[in-house]
């Protein structure tokens, strides 16, 4: 079933996120040739972190990625890192966009950026579009396919990809906990919640590492995935690689499950969801973990730790986004709601710590 009307399309550029088109045309002429002179720019609607634009010239199209305006977290928006890992994965993982050109000359648009090919398809955000009309069985298969691609990523041969020296897998779990606790402290605003108990619990309940080093995406979620318009159950692209590295795949699974609400969850958590994971037919977290173990051969023990870590990480990310709005570094009104979202995520962490949520 072809659903071409649901293809994710760009629109007008948000206020304060415009690009210097004249400088861009001039810079890209050696890269794109005569096509650079006719460039037009639109912006994709998603994205609270790195920003994504569609460049068009006649029938040709490319995607430009750049860091957000006003961010104080440079390590989370490393364009060169994203470009490097996509360059490595293009021959061993068929879902990543193909990188075309990297620019570190800030005189062009004021920051690093890169170009990649445009993968046209469906992007599912908070709710399923009514036009998609998947049956519960199709929904279940689509979402299992989504997790199977994550398992494929975790099974990539690091040596074959040339990524065996990318990242520092030894001590990864400890560094992640320490790093996100530190980022929380850097992003606190006067109206924020207190996460001291959560940070201490993560330190006290940290499991040993899985013993496997994998390429990990670090922000694998539905709106970072493109499904085929001809076959909406099939994943054809994985986007937003700015936080990818080599590390413990169980931490990556925990990051994705931090987004995963299900019908048995408290209403306050389901209201804060960012993707339709609690609809009829959707697999539960327990079912996802069981399938992940089957696909990868990795046992997933200490599930509450990985789930709590995934939730806390999202609490920090939400606070970082809100921090930019609070301090006037962005005019994007969508950022206001991240304060209440962080509070809901923090409350869910509390329930895990209290033993009321175990799967």
CATH number, domain with residue 183: 3.90.1200.10
Q: Is residue 72 part of a domain?
A: yes
Q: Is residue 359 part of a domain?
A: no
> What are the helix (H) ranges across 188-215?
196-204
- Tell me: do 59 and 146 sit in the same domain: no
Q: Is residue 124 part of a domain?
A: no
**Residue at which a domain ends, from 89, 117, 145:** 117
In whole angstroms, give the CA distance from residue 301 to residue 269. 24
* Number of separate domains in the chain: 2
What's the pLDDT at 167?
A: 81
Q: Which domain holds residue 307?
A: 136-353
- Tell me: do 19 and 49 sit in the same domain: yes
- Tell me: do 11 and 104 sit in the same domain: yes
Query: What angle in degrees, to the nearest 10, is found between the helix axes of 249-257 and 136-154?
Result: 150
Q: Is residue 131 part of a domain?
A: no
Give all strands of the β-sheet with 99-103 in edge-to-edge order: 40-43, 51-57, 60-66, 113-117, 99-103
Give residue for tokens 């990625």. Answer: 65
**Residue at which a domain ends, from 68, 88, 117:** 117
- Tell me: do 231 and 296 sit in the same domain: yes
What's the pLDDT at 337?
A: 78
What's the pLDDT at 322?
A: 86
Local structure of 226: helix, strand or coil: strand
Q: Are 18 and 247 in contact (CB under 8 A)?
A: no
In whole angstroms, give the CA distance from residue 3 to residue 236. 15
**Residue at which a domain ends, from 117, 145, 177:** 117
Q: Is residue 127 part of a domain?
A: no
- Tell me: do 143 and 49 sit in the same domain: no
What's the pLDDT at 66?
A: 93
- Tell me: do 177 and 214 sit in the same domain: yes
Q: Is residue 336 part of a domain?
A: yes
Closest CA to 226 of 96, 41, 79: 96
Global pTM value: 0.89
In the structure, how many helices (H) and strands (E) does the chain have? 12, 9
In whole angstroms, give the CA distance from residue 255 to residue 48. 17
Closest CA to 322 of 81, 18, 73, 11: 73
- Tell me: do 146 and 77 sit in the same domain: no
Calculate the CA 322 to chain-centre distance. 17
Closest CA to 125 of 68, 208, 46, 215: 46
Residue 13 is part of a domain; what is its CATH number?
A: 3.30.200.20
Residue 7 is classified by DSSP as B
In whole angstroms, give the CA distance from residue 104 to residue 106. 6
Greatest CA separation found in the chain? Answer: 62
What's the pLDDT at 73?
A: 47
Phi, psi (5° rounding) for residue 112?
A: -65, 150
Local structure of 214: helix, strand or coil: strand
Q: Going residue by residue through the chain, which has 359 residues, state the pLDDT in tens, using 9 for 90 and above.
A: 456 656 778 889 988 899 999 999 999 999 999 999 999 999 987 655 689 999 999 999 999 999 988 655 455 568 898 999 999 999 999 999 999 999 999 999 999 999 999 999 999 999 998 888 899 999 999 999 999 999 999 999 999 999 988 888 999 999 999 999 999 999 998 888 899 999 999 999 999 989 899 999 999 999 999 999 999 999 999 998 988 999 999 999 999 999 999 999 999 999 989 999 999 999 999 999 999 999 999 999 999 999 999 999 999 999 988 888 888 877 777 787 788 888 999 999 999 999 998 88
- Tell me: do 158 and 81 sit in the same domain: no
- Tell me: do 141 and 104 sit in the same domain: no
């Amino acid at each position: 079933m072809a659903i071409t009307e649901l293809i994710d399309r760009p629109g007008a550029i948000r206020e304060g996120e415009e690009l210097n088109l004249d400088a861009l045309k001039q810079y890209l002429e050696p890269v794109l040739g005569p096509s650079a002179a006719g460039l037009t720019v639109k912006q994709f609607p998603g994205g609270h972190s790195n920003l994504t634009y569609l460049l068009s010239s006649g029938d040709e199209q490319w995607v430009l990625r750049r860091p957000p305006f006003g961010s104080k977290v440079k390590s989370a928006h490393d364009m060169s890192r994203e470009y490097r890992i996509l360059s490595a994965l293009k021959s061993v993982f068929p879902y990543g966009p193909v990188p075309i050109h990297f620019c570190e000359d800030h005189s062009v648009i004021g920051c690093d950026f890169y170009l990649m090919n445009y993968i046209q398809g469906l992007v599912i955000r908070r709710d399923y579009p009514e036009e998609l009309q998947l049956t519960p069985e199709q929904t279940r298969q689509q979402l299992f396919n989504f997790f199977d691609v994550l398992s494929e990523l975790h099974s990539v041969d690091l040596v074959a990809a040339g990524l065996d020296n990318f990242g520092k897998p030894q001590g990864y779990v400890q560094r992640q906990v320490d790093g996100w606790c530190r980022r929380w402290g850097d992003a606190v605003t006067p109206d924020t919640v207190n996460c001291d108990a959560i940070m201490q619990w993560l330190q006290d309940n940290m499991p040993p590492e899985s013993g496997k080093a994998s390429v990990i995406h670090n922000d694998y979620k539905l709106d970072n995935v493109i499904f085929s318009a001809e076959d909406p159950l099939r994943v054809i692209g994985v986007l937003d690689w700015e936080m990818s590295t080599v590390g413990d795949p169980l931490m990556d699974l925990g990051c994705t499950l931090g987004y995963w609400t299900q019908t048995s969850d408290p209403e306050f958590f389901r209201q804060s969801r960012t993707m339709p994971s609690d609809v009829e037919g959707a697999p539960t977290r327990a079912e996802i973990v069981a399938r992940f173990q089957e696909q990868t051969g990795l046992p997933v023990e200490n599930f509450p730790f990985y789930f709590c870590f995934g939730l806390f990480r999202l609490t920090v990310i939400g606070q970082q986004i809100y921090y930019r709005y609070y301090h006037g570094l962005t005019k994007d009104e969508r950022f206001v709601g991240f304060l209440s979202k962080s509070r809901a995520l923090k409350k869910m962490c509390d329930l895990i710590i209290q033993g009321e949520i175990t799967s």
